[in-house]
Structure 1
Amino acid sequence: MPLKIYRRGEIWHYRGTVAGRRVRGSTQTSIKARALEIAAERETREWKSSHHGPESVLTFADAAMLYRQADRSTRFLEPIEDYWKDTPVKQINAGAVRQSAIVLHPKTSGATRNRQVIVPTQAIINHAAGMDLCHHLKIERFNVATKSKEPVTWDWVQKFMAVSSPHLGALACFMFLTGARISEALDLRWGDVSLAERRALIRQTKIGAERRPHLPQALVAAIANIPSNRETSAKVFQYSSRDTAKPLWRAAIRRAKIKPLTYHACRHGFATAMLHAGVDPITVAKLGGWKDAKHVFTTYGHAMTDETLADRITGQFSGQIIVKKAELG
C-alpha cells in the first residue's frame, strides 16, 4: 500500500509498502501539509530506487547519516555535510570533491585540505559503496610539502611531566608509551584501565578497532598518581577535548623550557623510538594501532645519525670489540 501518514504526539510519521518493501519513518514536522509532501517524496524515491537502483536516489546527506550510524569518526564532517547537503552521490566526482576542498579551505595547505575534506568525503561515499548503494570513489590528494616531523623523546616527556599536573603529565606519558592518538587518550575511562594487569583498552575510532597495549611501569606510576574518584565511566585524563588541554599543554612546555611539540609528536615519538630500538615496522604498526606497516616505515623510519652503527655488524659496541681468539696449536 502507498505511504500513509499518522501522528505520534505532535509529529507526523509515515508507513506503508513500496515496491514490496516496508517503509516507515518520521517526517519530523507537526504540519500535516508538509508531512504529506515528505511522505510523497520518500515514496517517489523508493520507487525510483526499485527501478533504477539505490544509487539513483542516494544523497550525500543519506550517505553521511549511514556513516554516522556506523559510529565512524565525525570530526570534520559538519562543513562537508553543509556543502553537499542533498546532492545525489552519483553526481559527486573526484574533481568536484577537490573543488569543495578549495572552497571550504581557500587559504590552507594541501595537507589540511586532504585531512579535513578529501579523506572524510571519500570515507563517507566509500562506506555507502561498501553497502552496495553506490560506486567507490577514488580522489587524487593535493600535493603536500614534505616536512621533517620531530618526535617526542623520553627525555622530553620526563621534563614535561616534571612541571605538569599529574593528569596532564600522565597524558603525555600515555601517548608516548602506547602510541595512542590524542582523541583515543582523552576518551580513556577508568573502567578501561587495569593497573594490576598493566593493560588499557584503547578504542581506535579512526580505524574502527580496539587494542590493549602493555603499560610500562613508568606509565602505571603516572596514572596511579592521578587524583580521581576513579568511577568506571570517568575520564582518566579529565579533559573534555584536545582544545581544553591545549593551553595547559603549551604552558607546561614553556615552564619546562623544552621544544614546543604537539600531541601527535608523542605518537610519532613512540613509533620512532620503537624502530630505533630494533622493533620491526609490522610489530610497531600492530602495537601502535596503524593499519599499514608501510606507513609506519615511510613516515616514522628516520635515519639514525650515529655513524658508527655499522660496527654492530661485526659485534663492536660502545668501543668494545668482540674477538674470537684463535686456538693455539
Structure 2
Amino acid sequence: MPLNITKRGKIWHYSGTVAGRRLRGTTETTDKRIAERIAAEVENKAWQSHLDGPGTTLTFAQAAIAYRQAGRDTRFLDDIEDYWKDTLVPKITGEAIRQMARKLYPEAANATRNRQGIVPAQAIINFASELEWCSPIKVKRFKVSAKIKTPVTRAWVEKFAAQAVQDELHHLAALCLFMFGTGARRGEACALKWSDVELFQKTAVINQTKVEHQRIAHLSPPVVGALANIPSNRNPENFVFSYASGESVGQVWKNVVKRAGIQHLSPHCCRHGFATSMLQAGVDPKTVAVRGGWKDVATVMKYYAHAMDDPTVTDVLFGTNLTQDKTEMQSSN
C-alpha cells in the first residue's frame, strides 16, 4: 500500500509497506504538502530499488556510513563525504572523482590528491560494490613524478641520535633509532604506546596504517637501550615518543639535523634506510618486506632498493672486499 503520513506533534512522519518492505521515518517538516511530496519520493525510490536493484538509489553518504561501520580507514573521509553528500553513486564517475580531488586540494601535489582524494573515494564505492550494492569504479590517478629519496645510513642515525641526546631530546633519539631499526613509518612510530612495547622480550607491536594490519617488530639492542633511556612513567596508555602525531616531529627533527651538521633527511628516510641497509647487507627482499611491513616484494624493490654508489662493487664476484666507505655521509649545506 502507498505510504501514509501522520502528524506527531508538529512534524509529519511517513509509514507503510512498499514492494514488501516496511518503511517509516520523518519528513522533518511541518508543511503537509511538502511532507506528501517527500513520502512520494521515498516510495518512488523504494520501487526503483526493488525493480532495478539497490545501486540505483544508493547514495554516497549511505556507502560511506557502511564503510565506516566496517572499521575501514577513516582518514580524509570528512571532506569527501561533505562534497558528495547524498549524490547517487551511479552518477559518480571516475572523472568526477578527479575533479573532486582538484577542488578539495587545489594547491596540493598530485600525490596528495591521489592519496587524500581519489583513493578514499574509490575505496568507499568499491566497498559498496563488495556488498553487491553497486558496480565497482576505476579512477585514473594523477601522474606523479617519482622522486629519488636518499636513505639514512647507520652512521647518519648514530650522529642524529647523539645530537638529540646532547639536546636532552632522548625521545627523539629513540624515535630515529626505532624507525631505522624496525622500518616503522613516522605515524606508526608516533602512535606507539608503552603497552605495545616489551623491552625484556625486545619486541614492539606496530599498527600498520597503510595495510590495516599489525606486525611484531624485533628491537635490536641499540633500540632497546634508547627506549629505556626515555624519561617517562611508562604508563601503558602513554605514547612512547611523546608526539601527538607524525606531523609534530618535523621542525624539531630539522633543528637536530642542522645542529648535528649532517645531510638533511626526513624521518621517512629512516624507513628507506631500513630497507636499503638490509638489502645491501644481503638479506633477501622477501624477508625485508615482511620485517618492514610492506605488502609485497615488488614495492621494496621498486622504491627502496638503492644502487650502491661504488663502481668497484663488482669486485665481490672475485671475493674482494668492497671499497665503499659505508659510514661516509654528505654534510648539509
TM-score interval (norm. to shorter): 0.7 to 0.9
TM-score (norm 2): 0.82
Change in Cα spacing, 1:101 to 1:313, as seen in structure 2 (3 Å) is: same
For residue 287 of structure 1, what is the aligned residue in structure 2? 291
CA–CA separation in structure 2 for the residues paired with 1:168 and 1:254: 14
The size of the alignment, in residue pairs, is 314
Partner AA of 1:295 in structure 2: T
For residue 265 of structure 1, what is the aligned residue in structure 2? 269
Partner AA of 1:84 in structure 2: W
For residue 260 of structure 2, what is the aligned residue in structure 1? 256
Q: Within the alignment, does 1:216 sit opposite 2:220 as a pair?
A: yes
Secondary structure of the 1:203 match is strand
CA–CA separation in structure 2 for the residues paired with 1:3 and 1:316: 88
Shift of 1:78: 2.3
List alignment gaps of at least 5 residues for structure 2: 324-333
CA–CA separation in structure 1 for the residues paired with 2:179 and 2:309: 25
For residue 198 of structure 2, what is the aligned residue in structure 1? 194
Partner AA of 1:91 in structure 2: K
Secondary structure of the 1:308 match is helix
CA–CA separation in structure 1 for the residues paired with 2:243 and 2:42: 43
- CA-to-partner distance for each residue in 1:230-265, whole Å, 9 max, x for gaps? 122221111111232222222222222222222221
Alignment of 1:48-59 (within 5 A): 48-59=48-59
Partner AA of 1:101 in structure 2: A
The answer to whether the Cα contact below 8 Å between 1:3 and 1:18 also exists between their aligned partners in 2 is: no
CA–CA separation in structure 2 for the residues paired with 1:293 and 1:22: 51
Shift of 1:314: 2.8
Shift of 1:74: 2.5
Change in Cα spacing, 1:16 to 1:169, as seen in structure 2 (3 Å) is: farther
Deviating more after overlay: 199-208 vs 240-249: 240-249
Change in Cα spacing, 1:91 to 1:153, as seen in structure 2 (3 Å) is: same
Shift of 1:46: 4.9
The answer to whether the Cα contact below 8 Å between 1:271 and 1:288 also exists between their aligned partners in 2 is: yes
CA–CA separation in structure 1 for the residues paired with 2:319 and 2:241: 44
For residue 235 of structure 2, what is the aligned residue in structure 1? 231
Partner AA of 2:159 in structure 1: K
- CA-to-partner distance for each residue in 1:261-289, whole Å, 9 max, x for gaps? 22221112111111212222222111111
The answer to whether the Cα contact below 8 Å between 2:94 and 2:137 also exists between their aligned partners in 1 is: yes
Q: Within the alignment, does 1:112 sit opposite 2:112 as a pair?
A: yes
List alignment gaps of at least 5 residues for structure 1: 320-329
Change in Cα spacing, 1:20 to 1:207, as seen in structure 2 (3 Å) is: farther
Secondary structure of the 1:134 match is coil
Alignment of 1:111-190 (within 5 A): 111-164=111-164, 165-190=169-194
The answer to whether the Cα contact below 8 Å between 2:187 and 2:246 also exists between their aligned partners in 1 is: yes
Deviating more after overlay: 175-184 vs 240-249: 240-249
Change in Cα spacing, 1:47 to 1:309, as seen in structure 2 (3 Å) is: same
CA–CA separation in structure 1 for the residues paired with 2:14 and 2:172: 51
CA–CA separation in structure 1 for the residues paired with 2:22 and 2:241: 47
The answer to whether the Cα contact below 8 Å between 2:316 and 2:322 also exists between their aligned partners in 1 is: no
The answer to whether the Cα contact below 8 Å between 1:195 and 1:220 also exists between their aligned partners in 2 is: yes
Deviating more after overlay: 106-115 vs 226-235: 106-115
Deviating more after overlay: 144-153 vs 106-115: 106-115
Q: Within the alignment, does 1:312 sit opposite 2:316 as a pair?
A: yes
Secondary structure of the 2:311 match is coil
Secondary structure of the 2:320 match is coil
For residue 329 of structure 2, what is the aligned residue in structure 1? none
The answer to whether the Cα contact below 8 Å between 1:114 and 1:141 also exists between their aligned partners in 2 is: yes
